[in-house]
DNA sequence: TGAGATATGTCTGGAAAAGGACATATTGTA
DNA sequence: TACAATATGTCCTTTTCCAGACATATCTCA
């Protein structure tokens, strides 16, 4: 039962806090959309539709959480994202909130 | 900036994982709906509408995460909820997922 | 006695989100 | 050469969610 709970909870976190998971991935290593999709799908066993991902990445860049550089791979273009200081602050704050969630028996 | 981030993140967690926050509250101390509403609103500085809370409590009981006993307070009735073993397992699994999130297992 | 707090419940219209389709181009492989 | 994978983007319809309203009853305090 605990295993199915775990899968359910992970999926809920991915769905509702997808931007944060993306920031965490990119902080660990700069990445482009297609790669992020594959990482999320294999790491968390959740379907991630590119029709949701690419607009999200663009808005995260517009809001200053991510920055991108175009990278040519032959004739194919990759938009490689790196995390900004603002983005780092956001996930650090997230980690702090989680710590409180675990510690407090509230 | 980090402060406004914190408020935003807390509100997102409450909104999307409200059931878990309720289970955590009730595990700490058996409680009824109105009290839960007040606790959540003061502890997390988030508005919690009773029109969302009461149906959620009823469904958590139906699914076996909570149990309730009616308590008479004069002519006024309180529905006091306690957490079940299933409910405890759910929030323990949640805590484990959060630990992995913090420990940067990605 | 009237207002505000306590206490629990349902329901609905509009907004937000999700799912899937439409669109295009390159690269690798069978 | 055709199909699957890589790579990024938009758009529309359906579904889900939520805020606020509707509903009822008791208790406390001024």
Average pLDDT over residues B11-40: 97
* DSSP string covering chain A: -HHHHHHHHHHHHHHHSHHHHHHHHHHHS-B-HHHHHHHHHHHH-----HHHHHHHHHHHHHTTSEEEEEEEETTEEEEEEEE-HHHHHHHHHHHHHHHHHHH---
The residue with greater pLDDT, B89 or B76, is B89
Q: Which CATH code for domain B2-105?
A: 1.10.10.10
Q: Which residue's C-alpha is at the least distance from the C1' of C27?
A: A76
Residue numbers in A 31-90, CB below 7 Å of strand D: 32-35, 38, 50-51, 54-55, 57-58, 73, 76-80
Interchain contact, B106 vs A9, CB within 8 Å: no
Determine the pLDDT at residue B44. 93
- Can you give the pLDDT at residue A105? 53
Cα dihedral: B22, B26, B30, B35 (round 10): -30
Quickly state the pLDDT bin for B9 (edges 50, 70, 90): very high
Which residues in chain B are contacts of A99 at CB distance < 8 A? 102
Closest CA–CA distance from residue A72 to any residue of chain B (Å): 27
Is the pLDDT at B93 greater than 70? The verdict is yes
Cα-flanking dihedrals φ and ψ of residue B104, to 5°? 60, 55
Taken in order A77, A78, A80, A81, is the CA torsion positive or negative?
positive
Answering whether pTM is above 0.85, one says yes
Kindly report which listed range (B41-45, B62-66, B71-75) carries the lowest average pLDDT score.
B71-75
Provide the pLDDT for residue A106.
46
A58 class by beta-carbon count within 10 Å (0-12 exposed, 13-18 middle, 19+ buried): middle
pLDDT at A3: 85
Residues of chain A predicted below pLDDT 70: 104-106
**pLDDT score recorded for residue A47:** 95
- Determine the Cα–Cα distance for residues A47 and A40; give it in Å rounded to an integer: 8
Contacts B10 to A, Cβ<8 Å: 97
């Amino acid at each position: 039962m605990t295993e199915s709970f775990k899968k359910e909870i992970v999926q809920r976190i991915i769905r509702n806090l997808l931007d944060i998971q993306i920031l965490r991935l990119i902080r660990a290593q700069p990445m482009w959309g297609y790669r992020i999709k594959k990482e999320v799908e294999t790491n968390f066993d959740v379907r991630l539709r590119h029709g949701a991902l690419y607009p999200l990445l663009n808005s995260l860049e517009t809001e200053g959480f991510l920055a991108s550089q175009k990278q040519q791979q032959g004739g194919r273009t990759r938009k490689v994202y790196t995390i900004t200081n603002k983005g780092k602050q956001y996930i650090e704050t997230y980690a702090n909130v989680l710590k409180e969630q675990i510690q407090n028996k509230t």
